[in-house]
Structure 1
Amino acid sequence: MTSKDAQGHNTDEGNKLEDMTSQFVHRVDDDPNVMEELLSDSENPLYEGCKYAKLSASLKLYNLKVGHSWTDKSFTALLEFLIDVLPFDNVLPKNTYRAKKTLCTMAKSCPECNLSRYKKKEGVPAKVLWYFPIIPRFKRMYSDPVDAEKLTWHKFGRKKDGLLRHPADSPQWRFIDGQFPDFGSEEQNLRLGLSTDGINPYSSLSSIRSTWPVMLVAYNLPPSLCMKRKYIMLSMLISGPKQPGNDIDVYLAPLIDDLKLLWEEGVEVFDANRNEIFNLRAMLFCTIQDYPAYGNISGYSVKGEGGCPICEDGWKGKWFSASRKTVYYDHRPFLPLDHKYRRMKKAFNGEHNFESRPKVFTSQEVFEKVKDIQLTFGKLKKNKDAIPKKGYKKCCDFWRLPYWRFLFVRHSLDIMHIEKNVFDSLIGTLLNISGKTKDGVNARLDLKEMNMRNELHAVETGKQDYLPPAAYTLSKNEKVELCASLAGGA
């Protein structure tokens, strides 16, 4: 609930804005111009007798814009209408650009981190990075006694029965406690997860715009909270006409600088739950993304013959000319040596397979491979020959973190994303949906190229090739039963 004073002002919102303003004023004493502009916008009323100031009104309206997904054009139209409705001496921003400029007074710099929130990539003016410093936000989390108590759940509230329910139950968590006892022994220290992916901000697949939000979550929190919207922290926004691709390290640099500071030195933070000041340290526990973003983040080429960043050259795919793609098949080396599938021929490629699984390289071994890779970032022609077509193509910026080379799992895959894609492929194939099925003429031609499953090879009939039914081919009634079952009707 919100409270109001005698004049009907929303005191909760007013107090929050006043606290934000006062905290910011103390941080920009060395920049009088910024401080003067901020105080002017926060104190001068929107018009004579108005309870809102220019800054608070702009903030309120912009929150409505973001909350209801208004476009810049519609927001400008609203501002123009309000200017006509309000008294002539009002100082409301005239358009979206001026509203953003007013709010950017609060976001021009963060002296605690000594980093600009608004950055442009050198040489590429169309690419913009918004970086939102994480250290002040961690301080605000610990300034709330309820949140400060929740951030120690992994130590005092977790059920320790050997089952894996949370990253705190993982071997990597226990390894960090043993490898870095000075960090692991302090339950207030944070272990973070980072996630990023490209989105289309205009909900139109034809748009050429690309936006990459970089999110952070605190794994100190219980599983019911750490993925809630309230506790997911937007640390940066990479916006531009094209995705960052291999150059994403350029944009992650300020965030990694903060993470390095939080690991090596820490920052003084007040814990409202314990009513004490302590030195907060934090580490990046792992990253989470889909497979294409995995390649951008880790620096490994996830396409081509050796597209697995875990097995690397130990597990290679084969190019099939009909489908025009590299296929990784016969995964029997990953099965136990005495598994019955290893002795099967017809069900696979017509041969036994008793190969051992590929070697998994440790983080230290990977670091030795990539530490000397020199790369000039940017979409320059000179890099086409410098970047290898397979394997590691760069030494990603995360290696600057001192603990990164010791982690078991550095990069994780978004399992929900993968499950959706696999499910779509299975259903598309079972229902034989045009454009969605993975079983077509090209797939049957690939079988012929592999010289296996002769009974499934496409038969030329003149106008259209005939595809013999496979074991998974469903009749119309069976498709109806499958759909009814998935819909919960059977």
Structure 2
Amino acid sequence: MSEEYKAGVKQFCKLVAENSKNINFILCPCTKCLNIIEVNGPNELHDHMMFHDTVDTDFMEDAQGGSSSVEKDIPNIINDELRDHPDMYEELKNDVALSLWPGCTKASRLSAVLTLYNLKVGHQISDTFLMEMLTAVSELLSDGNVLPRRAYAAKQMLKSIGLVHNRIHACQNDCILYPKEYEMLDECPKCHLKRFKDGNSPSKVMWYFPIIPRLMRLYASPEDSKHLTWHHNGRIKDGMLRHPADSPQWKTFDDVHRDFGKEPRNLRLALSTDGMNPHRLQSSSHSTWPVILIVYNLVSSLCMKRKYMMMSTLIYGPIQPGNDIDVYLAPLIEDLKLLWEEGIEVEDRYRNDHFRLKAMLFGTISDFPAYNNLSGYSVKGYDVCALCGDKTDNVRLKNCKKCVYMGLIGTLLGVLGKIKDGLSARMDMIDMGIRSELAPVEVEGKKPYLPPAAYTLSRNEKNILLQTLHSVKGNNHKVVLVLQVIE
């Protein structure tokens, strides 16, 4: 052990003693405690760091006010939450104190599982691969090692570190959720359907993932806390529209709600939802609706990253909630109202202070049918434009029997069954007295000839369009299918 290390430990313990809120409860950053176990005073802290001589320097920097990555901040972030769950705390404490194998001083059972699980998440590997990796590593270690060999066992160890979720029973007809005043009922008070199937299995459930602990965790990480004020401190303000923070809506809101706007750490959130089929069966009509929150405080390159997109609600099918989606959004709305009206006390680890965090729902992201469900505004009929209302410019087509709309890709490519520019559309233009040059031409013994329009593409132009679409990053299976149809 070098003299430089000894001097550094002594200086570190002195700084901790000077800046600690409670000198009798100090998180120890040695490799045995991992900033999860508390020690009693700087002397015990000194002994731990001298005995377990390999210290995580990132933890030391964090304790002195420096920054570290999100993964290395996990012990700090969860410590306050574990205080309210002594059973979980005790389990973690035991796993930290348990050496990976008898005589091992470099890793505990918990630190080993955390290391391997971080590899799983970072490289997006499957549970099967994780189980094989756990088995292989366990066989390479000394006899008597306590590394779990199953992915399920590893997850059970880490469940107390994760965020809680609420499994909420719902009426099969989407009438109510059963918590609070309906918690003790066995049937819906509105439609009188039974709450449970055979036995104790609920007829329908939803999952709510409370957002307040997750927002608090963002500010418990110095790196994330710094990013969350980018819209105020790092954004280029030259009048160009690059980000929602550049929009008139953002500026108007700050002017109207000055108390909210003067605190750059307050959060602007967007809500997005749509139906999906988790079973990947195209013939199935199953529709499950995840509700995602996006944090607009972040720079554009981060706010749409999966890491910062929070699934707040999962509405399980098989039938879409439709206009009753507000029933399932009630727990989220309750938290959002609390964040807007009162706010919550949050510790900012980047600035080393506490502040009252507030949040507001800046907007929603959805397709047009989901917009109807979220807002209650009708998207069918004549007056479907939310901005124009009864002044919406619409035309009812006599031959097509519908209001005008355009299936762009199908029309451009001339896909059979998808093209909107057909004989009926051309006849409607004749009735409207427009585009006479596109009128159908009668051909004896054959179908009417439809003159090409300005957007009509040649075969070569269609190939260029499809190749361009295919080169766009994302799911290209539909483009491939269209290409096969055309060929």
Q: Which TM-score tier does this pair reach, normalised by the shorter chain? A: 0.5 to 0.7
Look up the match of 2:84: 27
Amino acid at match of 1:121: A
- Which residue does 1:153 correspond to in 2? 230
User: Which of 159, 167, 171 is equivalent to 1:122?
Assistant: 171
TM-score after normalising by structure 2: 0.61
Is residue 154–residue 222 contact of structure 1 (8 Å, CA) maintained in 2? yes
Amino acid at match of 1:25: L
For residue 262 of structure 2, what is the amino acid of its counterpart? S
Please state how far the C-alpha of 1:223 moved relative to its aligned partner: 2.3
- Provide the rounded CA distance (Å) in 2 between the counterparts of 1:22 and 1:475: 62
Q: TM-score, normalised by structure 1?
A: 0.61
> Do residues 467 (structure 1) and 443 (structure 2) align?
no
Q: 2:219 aligned with 1:142, yes or no?
A: yes
Tell me how large the CA RMSD over aligned residues is. Answer: 4.6
Distance 2:225 2:131 in 1: 43
- 8 Å contact from structure 1 (residues 304, 317) kept in 2: no
2:42: which partner in 1?
Answer: none
| Aligned residue type for 1:119 | I
Secondary structure (helix, strand or coil) at the match of 1:177 reads helix
- Equivalent pair of 1:193/1:287 in contact (CA under 8 Å): yes
Whole-Å Cα distance in 1 between the matches of residues 421 and 291 of structure 2?
37
1:252 maps to amino acid: L
Instruction: Report deviation, 1:295.
Output: 0.9
CA distance 1:176–1:17, shift in 2 (3 Å): closer
Cα distance in 1, alignment partners of residues 444 and 91 from structure 2: 78
SS at match of 1:210: coil
Contact 1:4 1:11 (8 Å CA) reproduced:
no
Calculate percent identity across the aligned residue pairs: 45
Partner of 1:439: 421
Q: Which residue of 2 aligns with 1:293?
A: 370
Q: Output the CA distance in 2 between the equivalents of 1:472 and 1:191.
A: 44
Task: Tell me how far 1:239 sits from its aligned partner.
Answer: 2.4
Name the CA distance, whole Å, in 1 between partners of 2:379 and 2:433: 28
User: Which secondary structure state, in structure 2, belongs to the residue aligned with residue 240 of structure 1?
Assistant: coil
By how many angstroms is 1:106 displaced?
6.6
> 2:112 touches 2:147 (CA, 8 Å); kept in 1?
no
**In 2: Cα distance, 1:258 partner to 1:312 partner:** 32
Judged with a 3 Å threshold, the aligned counterparts in structure 2 of structure 1 residues 18 and 151 are, in CA distance, closer, same or farther, namely: closer
The alpha carbon displacement at 1:212 in A equals: 2.2
Q: State how many pairs are aligned.
A: 377
Q: 1:66 to 1:160 in 2, by over 3 A?
A: closer
Map of 1:351 onto structure 2 = none
Q: Which moved more, 1:226-235 or 1:53-62?
A: 53-62
Q: Any idea what SS the aligned residue of 2:219 has?
A: helix
Instruction: Specify the alignment match of 1:332 in structure 2.
Output: none
- 1:3-27: CA deviations, max 9, x gaps? 9889x9x999997776576444322
Contact 2:131 2:150 in 1 (8 A): no
Conserved 8 A contact 2:170-2:206? yes
Structure with higher RCO (Cα < 8 A, 6+ apart): 1
Partners of 1:450 and 1:103 in 2: CA distance? 67
SS at match of 1:195: strand
Displacement of 1:130 in angstroms is 2.1
Rounded Cα–Cα distance in structure 1 between residues aligned with 2:393 and 2:457: 36
Structure 1 residue 300, shift from structure 2 partner: 0.8
Structure 1 residue 264, shift from structure 2 partner: 1.1
Cα distance, 1:447 vs structure 2: 2.9
Contact 2:293 2:310 in 1 (8 A): yes
Aligned residues of 2:163 and 2:213 also touching (Cα < 8 A): no
The answer to whether 1:169 aligns with 2:246 is yes
Hey, what does 1:196 align to over in structure 2?
273
Shift in Å, 1:37: 7.8
Letter in 1 for 2:349: A
Contact 2:286 2:317 in 1 (8 A): yes
Cα distance change, pair 485–35 in 1 and its aligned pair in 2 (3 A):
closer
Closer/same/farther in 2, CA of residues 192 and 293 from structure 1, 3 Å limit: same
2-structure distance, mates of 1:189, 1:127: 36
Cα 1:18–1:145 change in 2 (3 A) is closer
Kindly state the Cα deviation for residue 204 of structure 1 after the two structures are TM-superposed.
3.5
| Cα distance change of structure 1 residues 202 and 164 upon mapping to structure 2, 3 Å threshold | same
Displacement, 1:146?
Answer: 2.5
